Amino acid sequence: MKRRYLVGGALLLAGAALLVSTFWPQSESWEEKRVSLSIPESLSGHYSPTEFERWELYQSDTGKRLTLHVARYRDEAGTPRQVLLPEPESRQWQSWMALGEFLRSKVEPNALVLAWWDDSQRIDFFSGRRTWVLQPPTEAFGPTERDLWRRLSGGFGDAEGKLAQLARWFTQDPEQALAEIAQLEPDAPLYLLVANGDLSHVNEIERLAGKKLPLEVKIFPSTENLHGQIASVQRWAGEKGAGYLPQKVPGGIAAWRIARDPENTDEDNEPLLVRLLPFTTSLENPLSGLERVHQSSDGYLTLYRRR
């Protein structure tokens, strides 16, 4: 029996090149070392970072290690904030730099951007554009995960339950979800941002929405035969005749596939998040209520505008 999720409560953090899976023993004992670094010259955004750090986290009971990069800054009200960033100068670093420039130069100052909480923090840092929610609620995580995510997110919040509402939209029928989203500030420009790394938050989304997403994932270890590896991914994805989305992870490829009901092959019934992400079937069947206005060269980030 295949495990539905290889990434649970866990990280495929943009640029951190990490995969923490449910195959790892759950533990609260993350020891942490913070190393101050020089602020990279290429790090440009709406706000000027005051600090740039490398966080090295270690589980003594499992031997697992995580390495993250964090920038600290103050917003226009002087509130201290932090943001998780990709590995400096990596492809995802460059993708976020390009998106930040697009948001600052092409997106209206009064626009509202809907995105998952960690993407929203990056949107805030890089562009200063309004976002739906910046902090996750405590209940998004299981008891053994909360201490780690409290540190990574900069603290829990969201008293209004906005992230849970976004999770419900992500798991709904696209037409219904977009109809509800259309009621948000109808006089203001509205955008939706998704990152392929949002798949690392599947457990959070399902926990907050109270509903499962039709997704499965499998890791294909690295091999010298790249063509054979790609063929293996395509064979596995085609077992159910559904779309798939591959991601590079340490040691191989994490391939996600849509676990479609064999009695219902209608892509229109796939939930909003699946239709927003660049699964192969989503690319062939775009949503009519949204216009794709920006996509990173590696396909990692996709920004939509409400029509």
- Residues 6 or more apart from 31 whose CB is under 8 A from it? 57, 58, 59, 60
d(CA 177, CA 168): 8
d(CA 226, CA 104): 38
Instruction: List pLDDT tens digits, range 21-49.
Output: 333 334 467 888 999 999 999 998 999 99
- Residues 6 or more apart from 18 whose CB is under 8 A from it? 11, 12, 66, 67, 68, 250
pTM beyond 0.85, yes or no? yes
Mean pLDDT over 234-244 rounds to 81
Beta bridge partners of 34: 55
Q: Which of 12, 9, 58 is nearest to 195 (CA)?
A: 12
Q: How far is CA 84 from CA 15, 65, 251, in A?
A: 9, 17, 22
User: What was the pLDDT predicted at 263?
Assistant: 56
**CA angle, 183 as apex, 178 and 186 as ends, to 5°?**
115
Query: 251 φ, ψ to 5°?
Result: 90, 0
CA atoms within 13 A on the CB side of 230: 3
Instruction: List pLDDT tens digits, range 79-137.
Output: 999 999 999 999 999 999 999 999 999 999 999 999 999 999 999 999 999 999 999 99
Who wins on pLDDT, 28 or 67?
A: 67
The sheet that has 30-37: what strands, in order across it?
A: 30-37, 51-59, 65-74, 80-85
Q: Which of 238, 253, 177, 259 is nearest to 3 (CA)?
A: 259
